[in-house]
Structure 1
Amino acid sequence: MGKTLTITIVFEAGSLNYGEGFANISELKKFNRADGNIYSFASRQALRYDIVRLGNEWFDWNLDVVSKEKGTVQFKDEVTIEDSVEMDLFGYLKTGKKSLKRAAVVRLSHAVSLEPYNGDMEFLNNMGLAERNKLDPNLANIENHISLYTYTITIDLDKIGIDSNDNVTLSNEQRFERVQQFLEIVKLLSRHIRGRQENLAPLFIVGGVYPYANPLFQGRIQLKNGELQVNPLIEVMETTFAGSSVKGDTLIGIASGKFSNEQEFRSTFAENISTIEETFQVLINQVAQHYGVKQNATVKA
């Protein structure tokens, strides 16, 4: 039976993703929900962009894989997943006389805010530049929202490093290294936006390596009065599959001092809970065991 790694993450950040806007107003990307509230979000494409950016900066992921030879921006015909970690993790589509596609092996959800957006705006101008030449400044307004956000990652470990389109099969050491690098990036993920570098590093993480593919904790993270709700997670962990409980394979990592009911989590999930760092190290070790390789002390950069 195959193995799938799925983790749901909570982080805190502000104003992560803007839409097209109108006039001199920049609008956040956001949802309207049935509870009457509006929630901002960072799209999965935005998350992917910064994961790939950091993959290139930290681990030298090859980004020279794109062309516009066929009239549309797409991956080069001659490039395979052996050359590109990005194509391996996130899939590709190559059009032509014979179109080739490979579905994403790493699936990302949008990062959706857990706290509603209440219409906060920031007024901006370029007074500093305008005053140099005694000109009138340009004016702008941008929507602002600082919140806790949650998103989910699901990785089919058995499909990493394998592509039948080009008859590519990487070694288990290479497959493990790519997943390890991805998890190291997620652990310290950040986003560059409008002159800011927002920290997307997890404050809370729940998930593990399971013998079935399902984003188990997606949509189960709820926040009320500054408290992450325990009961929805208990209900998921009571689920069984083929006689095995979700709880037995689940890890929880939590940052100290962030959530007012932290002690409730520590007492309820005593056997499953640890620090964020320890949780990632256990996940990386489980991935190494799945591929049958020895875990490296350091990730190649």
Structure 2
Amino acid sequence: MKLTGVFLIETGVVNRGDGIGNIATVKKITTPHGVKVYFSPQSYKRALWNSLQNNFGWSLPLVTKEGGVVQRTGTVIDSEEFDFGGTMIAKPMYQRDTVLYLDNGISINSYAGDMEFMTNMGIAKLYGENEANIINRENFYGLYLLPFGIEVDRIGVQELNIPANLEKDDNIEQKIEKIYTALGLSKQIDNDKIKTLVKRVKSIEVKNKKIVTITLTKDEKRRRLQQLLEAMGELGRKIEGSERNLCPHLAFFSLTYATPKYLLFIKDKLIRKEKIEEQDIQGYAKKDGKNIIIATHENYGEKIKEIIEAVFPN
């Protein structure tokens, strides 16, 4: 099962390019409909992980420097972020593809060349100088479309290729301990930590003495998905001394589309400056034999509960 979605977000500059001289540039991309502003999946995800850690108590992931690249490590047991974000480490004992897929958030309206002239004159005067540093930065405000997908069947499930030497008579706590020892992470995840993690795990199975499959409880999977979607619904990103609002004005979800094809319908409506009516988009989905759940910023929480109940029913 896969949950796909499209967010319609109204905000300003979310992240910037490398800059040209003393000009701070926005991230731009050329499209058939003009030059658009965009924000990257990485900037969105980093804001999302920070929000989940600060507001929902998600743990910081373990990290390692395999092959000179710092990346997440560990298992889905100890880290919710590792569960959804995966890692780029290619070694079989660490490998995990992302569960949360994001595309660029691309603006509907085109970049019009707006610039903002700034100085640090206020600070310079405090220092007793009349000369200030000059900064020019490109500016933008508009509507963005952000498509995404979540492979819900893979939430809380991980396959490891490790010589963990698990025995049939081992209990869950003993199996967890052996897994982290085999991963070389026994110092980071000690026995006291393991005792707090046991309740998250439904089963740990082993095949051919090396292929270890970890499965978390339904309650744990449910908690993680619900908190992720709730955080996406009230997200902001700090940049340049302010916070950009990344809360969706409108959110579209589907448990029947393999990819968010309905993005095309939504985009066409916005380009033509037509109102997006629920009956129109449901009619579009009905032609495909699919269903779409539409949430506004007012009923977002209620719709998320409906989705969670459909994915992980009580």
TM-score interval for Structure 1 and Structure 2 normalised by the shorter chain: 0.7 to 0.9
Identify the match of residue 190 of structure 1 among 236, 254, 261. 236
Corresponding residue of 1:105: 99
Corresponding residue of 1:266: none
- Percent identity between the aligned chains? 29
Corresponding residue of 1:92: 87
Kept in 1, the 8 Å contact 2:61–2:81? The answer is: no
Kept in 2, the 8 Å contact 1:12–1:147? The answer is: yes
CA distance in 2, matches of 1:80, 1:142: 42
Identify the match of residue 65 of structure 1 among 48, 62, 65. 62
> Residue 289 of structure 1: CA displacement?
3.8
Structure whose residues are more often helix by fraction? 2
In structure 1, what residue type is equivalent to 2:70?
A: V
> Residue 221 of structure 1: CA displacement?
2.5
Q: Please tell me whether residue 127 in structure 1 is matched to residue 121 in structure 2.
A: yes
> Residue 73 of structure 1: CA displacement?
0.7
Runs of at least 5 residues in structure 2 that lack an aligned partner in the other structure? 161-211
Q: Please tell me whether residue 41 in structure 1 is matched to residue 41 in structure 2.
A: no
Counterpart secondary structure, 1:205: strand
Q: Which runs of 4+ in 1 moved over 6 A?
A: none
In structure 1, what residue type is equivalent to 2:81?
A: E
RMSD: 2.2
Q: Which has the larger radius of gyration?
A: 2
- TM-score with structure 1 length normalisation? 0.79
Corresponding residue of 1:282: 303
* Gap change, CA 1:91 and 1:232, over 3 Å in 2: farther
Identify the match of residue 152 of structure 1 among 147, 153, 177. 147
CA distance in 1, matches of 2:132, 2:151: 52
Kept in 1, the 8 Å contact 2:226–2:304? The answer is: no
CA distance in 1, matches of 2:97, 2:53: 22
Residues 71-103 of structure 1 show CA distances to partners (whole Å, capped at 9, x for unaligned) of 321123xx211111111112113355x563221
Residues 85-128 of structure 1 show CA distances to partners (whole Å, capped at 9, x for unaligned) of 111112113355x5632211111111111111100000111101
CA distance in 2, matches of 1:5, 1:19: 31
* Gap change, CA 1:57 and 1:178, over 3 Å in 2: same
Counterpart secondary structure, 2:150: strand
Map of 1:218-229 to 2, 5 A cutoff? 218-222=263-267, 223-224=270-271, 226-228=273-275
> Residue 234 of structure 1: CA displacement?
6.0
Q: Please tell me whether residue 82 in structure 1 is matched to residue 77 in structure 2.
A: yes
Corresponding residue of 1:297: none
Corresponding residue of 1:267: none
CA distance in 1, matches of 2:159, 2:111: 45
In structure 2, what residue type is equivalent to 1:88?
A: D
Residues 38-95 of structure 1 show CA distances to partners (whole Å, capped at 9, x for unaligned) of 110111111101110101001121224123365321123xx21111111111211335
> Residue 198 of structure 1: CA displacement?
1.2
Between the two proteins, the alignment pairs up a number of residues equal to 259
* Gap change, CA 1:233 and 1:59, over 3 Å in 2: same
Map of 1:166-177 to 2, 5 A cutoff? 167-177=213-223
